[in-house]
Structure formats: structure tokens, C-alpha cells
């Protein structure tokens, strides 16, 4: 049985929809996706997590649980250390005690501002979010070495697709454009990101459940590297609407580029096709995202 920690979130829910599994999630503001087999709980609650693992005959944990919004981490870093570092070490502890295999989901942001990072690149995170993710990765590798835990690290690039919280760049741009509002763009908008469609990430991680080797790191780039302005241009074409850009002051420590190489071989959904599916999903699922527009972030609208 696979346990999907953080499976009520964006990528975790896409992964959980691929197989018969159990979801374990503390249902934060970002955990909004239901699942027929959902256990509510915090990954930091080691005793409860261990009980759920044992009672359900779990033999693989795929850990997506994390605080994930870089802007929130800049305003308030401690929850990122608590959920992303202590949370990951708690999952590792349960894997160690129960003998479970663990796939830990990290991010391309751990490499920092770098072009073409392969899996052996040094970690040079720039934000509290990416520093917390890099710290967790180091714990995973330490648990493999010290305790022989059967664990590996997966580092996807920027994901987009259905069921992503409106505070993230692409849903925010889609929703604001649908509402005739401007889309805020940091700095000069020329920061480049590598985009991967969430269903591609989910199926690649599923492949690694059986094929991934203990102690290895696997980059999962989407292979579609564009600047934020180029992304909005393509999105406008896909939506058949003008995307109104509003330049705002840059994010502190903002990385100019994320781009990775990978030792795996695969193809991904073309960016336009993924964006077309994403836009359609947001058009057809207003009831999912409209209530989330109420979420506040340090007194501001978060989207």
C-alpha cells in the first residue's frame, strides 16, 4: 500500500489519483483536494504517522507534504522549517522504524540560480523555502547512509495544471485574466522557469516508485524553459484574451533562472497543450477555486 503524505495538495492529489492509495494530510489552507481514503494528520506527529503506516500495511511513502509558497516563506520562515525540515525528518523516522520505502519530493529550487543543473550539482538555495527543501534532502541522504533507509529524492521543476492554489503564478494569471484584472509580475519579468505539467510529474514519480534506486536523486525537468513574460504571452494566446501585465517590485533574493538536466529519459506534455488543459479546468471548476480567493496572506489577498 502506498501512503501519499501531502496528498490533498496540488501535485500529491494528481499522484494519488493514479493508484489505489491512502492519503495523509494535515489539510492546511493549501490542502483542498478530497480523496476517498484520507487520514487527517500532521507528518510531524511521528506516533500517529507510524500508527497509520502499520495499521494499513503501508510499504511505500511518497512525501509531498510541505509549505510551498516562496513569498510566504520570505514573510514567515519558521513554518517552513517546521513543516519542511522537521516534517521530512519525521517521515524519515517512520520509514526507519517501519522499514518503508520513501520517495521524498524536493524541488529544482534547491540548486539556486543555475543553468543546466544535473543531480550532482551543489545545493545553493536562495529563499527560506528552498533552504528548507535542501535541508530535508540532506536528511534523506543522511538516513540512507546512516540507517540504510530505502529512500530517494525527486526534484521536479515548476509544476502547473489543475487544482493548484490561486496564489501560484499560473492559476493567478488565469483567474485574474478571466476577471479582467492585471497580473502582477515581479521585477522585469525576464526570470526563466522550467515548466512541467502536473500529470507528467505524477506519472514520473509513479515510475520511480518501482524503478528509483535507493540513495539516488532524480531531477524531473519539464524541458519547457520560458521567461515569465513569455509564459504570459503564450497563456494569452491559449485563452484568446489579453493578459494585462502589472510590473511590481522584485521578490527579495529572486532567482533569475531554474533549469535542470536529468539522468532519466522521458517526454512531457507540450507547454501550450498543458496550458490549454489547465485553462479549461479552471473554466470548468469555478466552485473549486472561488472560495480560495478569500484566503488572506499577511492581510493581503494571496492571489
Q: Which residues bind ligand NAD (CB under 6 A)?
A: 5-6, 8-12, 25-28, 30-31, 42-44, 64-68, 83, 87, 105, 107, 133, 156, 158-159, 165
Whichever of 222 and 244 has its CB closer to ligand NAD, that residue is 222
Smallest distance from ligand NAD to CB 169, Å: 9
Q: Residue of minimal CB distance from ligand NAD?
A: 9
- Segments of the chain assigned E as strands: 2-5, 21-25, 38-40, 60-63, 101-105, 114-117, 151-156, 158-160, 183-186, 192-197, 217-220, 224-227, 245-248, 258-260, 296-297, 300-301
> Up-side HSE of residue 238: CA atoms within 13 Å toward CB?
22
Query: Which residue of the set 71, 108, 137, 200 is catalytic?
Result: 108
Question: Per-residue DSSP letters for 36-87?
Answer: SSEEE--TT-HHHHHHHHHHTT--EEEE--S---HHHHHH--HHHIIIIIIH
Q: Which is nearer to ligand NAD, 72 or 176 (CB)?
A: 72
Instruction: Name the minimum Å distance from CB 184 to ligand NAD.
Output: 18
**Cα separation of 114 and 180, whole Å?**
35
Does the annotation mark 230 as catalytic?
no
Least CB distance to ligand NAD at residue 180 (A): 26
Q: Record the cell numbers describing residue 196, joined without a space.
A: 512541467
CB of 19 to ligand NAD, least distance (A): 17
Instruction: Identify the DSSP state of 111.
Output: G
| Nearer to ligand NAD among residue 107 and residue 127 (C-beta) | 107
Nearer residue to ligand NAD within complex by CB, 244 or 293: 293
Assess contact for 207 and 200: CB atoms under 8 A.
no
- Long-range contacts of residues 279-284, Cβ cutoff 8 Å, at least 24 apart: 279/174, 279/235, 279/238, 279/239, 281/161, 281/162, 281/163, 282/162, 282/171, 282/174, 282/175, 282/178, 283/178
Nearest-Å Rg of the Cα atoms of the chain is: 18
Active site (annotated) includes residue 108? yes
Q: Which of 42, 50, 93, 109 is catalytic?
A: 109
Q: Nearest approach, Cβ of 183 to ligand NAD (angstroms)? A: 18
Q: With respect to ligand NAD, which residue has the nearer C-beta, 81 or 241? A: 81
Q: Which of 129, 160, 197, 282 is catalytic?
A: 129
Q: Rounded to the nearest whole angstrom, what is the least distance from the CB of residue 240 to ligand NAD in the complex?
A: 25
Q: What is the DSSP letter of 237?
A: H
Instruction: Please confirm, yes or no, whether 237 is among the known catalytic residues.
Output: no
User: Which CB atom, from 44 or from 251, has the smaller least distance to ligand NAD?
Assistant: 44
Catalytic (active-site) positions: 108-109, 129
Amino acid at each position: 500500500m502506498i501512503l501519499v503524505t501531502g496528498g490533498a495538495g496540488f501535485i500529491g492529489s494528481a499522484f494519488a489519483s493514479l493508484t489505489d492509495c491512502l492519503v495523509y494530510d494535515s489539510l492546511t489552507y493549501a490542502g483542498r483536494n478530497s480523496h476517498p481514503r484520507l487520514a487527517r494528520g500532521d507528518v510531524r506527529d511521528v506516533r500517529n504517522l507510524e500508527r497509520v503506516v502499520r495499521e494499513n500495511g503501508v510499504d511505500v511513502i511518497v512525501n509531498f507534504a510541505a509549505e510551498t509558497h516562496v513569498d510566504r516563506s520570505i514573510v514567515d520562515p519558521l513554518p517552513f522549517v517546521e513543516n519542511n525540515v522537521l516534517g521530512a525528518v519525521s517521515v524519515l523516522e517512520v520509514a526507519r522504524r517501519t522499514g518503508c520505502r520513501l520517495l521524498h519530493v524536493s524541488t529544482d529550487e534547491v540548486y539556486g540560480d543555475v543553468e543546466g543543473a544535473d543531480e550532482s550539482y551543489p545545493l545553493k538555495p536562495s529563499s527560506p523555502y528552498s533552504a528548507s527543501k535542501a535541508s530535508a534532502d540532506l536528511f534523506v541522504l543522511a538516513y540512507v547512509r546512516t540507517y540504510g533507509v530505502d529512500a530517494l529524492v525527486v526534484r521536479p521543476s515548476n509544476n502547473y495544471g489543475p487544482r493548484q492554489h490561486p496564489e501560484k503564478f499560473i492559476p493567478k494569471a488565469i483567474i485574474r485574466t478571466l476577471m479582467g484584472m492585471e497580473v502582477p509580475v515581479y521585477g522585469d519579468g525576464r526570470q526563466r522557469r522550467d515548466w512541467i505539467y502536473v500529470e507528467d510529474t505524477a506519472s514520473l514519480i509513479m515510475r520511480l516508485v518501482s524503478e528509483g534506486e535507493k540513495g539516488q536523486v532524480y531531477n524531473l525537468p519539464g524541458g519547457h524553459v520560458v521567461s515569465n513574460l513569455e509564459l504570459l504571452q503564450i497563456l494569452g494566446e491559449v485563452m484568446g484574451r489579453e493578459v494585462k501585465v502589472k510590473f511590481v517590485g522584485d521578490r527579495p533574493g529572486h532567482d533569475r533562472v531554474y533549469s535542470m538536466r536529468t539522468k532519466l529519459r522521458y517526454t512531457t506534455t507540450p507547454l501550450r497543450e498543458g496550458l490549454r488543459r489547465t485553462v479549461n479546468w479552471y473554466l470548468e471548476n469555478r466552485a473549486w477555486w472561488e472560495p480560495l480567493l478569500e484566503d488572506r496572506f499577511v492581510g493581503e489577498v494571496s492571489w
